[in-house]
Amino acid sequence: MPKQTFLNLPDEKRQTVVNAAIDEFAEYGFESASINRIVANSGISKGSFYQYFDDKMDVFKYLMDVIAQEKTEFFKGKHPPSPGLGIFGYFRWMIKTGMEFNSTNPKLVKAIARVLLGEGMYYGQIFNDVRKKTMDTLVTMIQHAKQNGEIDPSVDEKVAATVMDTWSNVISNSILQEGMQKKDIVKWVRTPKTQKYIDDMLSIMEHGLRNVKASSIDDAGKEE
């Protein structure tokens, strides 16, 4: 966590340091990120940096807190279109609303995604608590869906949660990478083409790739 000296900075100066850190991680990831570049691009001395943070991991964790707070605030005013949505409808709403959030601050989201997903830190010990929180939420959703008869009761809940979590990350990354090339990413995310792409990705997750007719043919062959 940042030191009190950083929190005591004027808002404008504090935001300049944050922006420099966002640009650094978005461009270089974590391993190649340079404190020297963050210092140079934010107009502070290296000594000042260490008065604000312990190291670059400390900076990155602060960005994680920033995006978590912004996302919580963003979702406060958002509600599913219907209280009776099943798990797949609710998951679709979560993904699409999440993409709306991502499009409002794409550089910060890119910085976080590059480090967590691009460099695999999301699956390591350092951010194990972040992944565990997501997985626990998904497992609870899956348990309720089983009780409602939406999901096969024999499905392993942790495996299903891993599939949903991975699918969510794939969709978000895919949309973000392409959207960053657009002049107006917010407008682009809302286009029918982009929304259909998200729907198609989620449909494959929900229904799978296998052709039902092909499945029937295989079953008939086994009976013979």
**CA angle (124, 129, 135) in 5-degree steps:** 95
3-state SS of 108-175?
HHHHHHHHHHHCCHHHCCCCHHHHHHHHHHHHHHHHHHHHCCCCCCCCCHHHHHHHHHHHHHHHHHHH
Other beta carbons within 10 angstroms of residue 183's beta carbon come to: 6
CA distance 9 to 156: 49
CATH code of domain 1-77: 1.10.357.10
Instruction: Please state, for a pLDDT cut of 70, what percent of the chain lies above it.
Output: 94
CA distance 203 to 148: 20
* 80-224 is classed CATH 1.10.760.10: no
Which pLDDT does position 219 carry in this prediction?
52
Which pLDDT does position 180 carry in this prediction?
81
Closest by Cα among 207, 127, 119 to 167:
207
User: Is 80 exceeded by the pLDDT of residue 224?
Assistant: no
Quick one: average pLDDT of 104-129? 91
137-195 tens-digit pLDDT: 999 999 999 999 999 999 999 999 999 999 999 998 888 888 888 888 888 999 999 99
User: Quick one: CA dihedral 197, 92, 135, 59, positive or negative?
Assistant: positive
Which pLDDT does position 184 carry in this prediction?
85
> Which part of the chain is CATH 1.10.357.10?
1-77, 80-224
Quick one: average pLDDT of 41-49? 95
Q: Which residues contact 66 (CB under 8 A, 6 or more apart)?
A: 18, 108
What's the Cα-to-Cα distance from 94 to each of 7, 60, 82, rounded to whole Å? Answer: 32, 25, 13
Which pLDDT does position 22 carry in this prediction?
97
User: Is 70 exceeded by the pLDDT of residue 218?
Assistant: no
Quick one: average pLDDT of 199-207? 91
Which pLDDT does position 173 carry in this prediction?
86
User: Within 13 Å and on the Cβ side, how many CA atoms surround 130?
Assistant: 15
Rg of the chain on CA atoms, in Å:
21
Which pLDDT does position 88 carry in this prediction?
93
Closest by Cα among 112, 98, 111 to 198:
98
CA 43 vs. chain centroid, Å, equals 30
13-27, 83-97, 118-132, 179-193: which has the minimum mean pLDDT? 179-193
Which pLDDT does position 153 carry in this prediction?
93
64-70 own/partner pairs: CB under 8 Å, 24+ apart: 64/112, 64/127, 64/130, 65/1, 66/18, 66/108, 67/105, 67/108, 67/109, 67/112, 70/101, 70/105, 70/108
Which pLDDT does position 186 carry in this prediction?
84
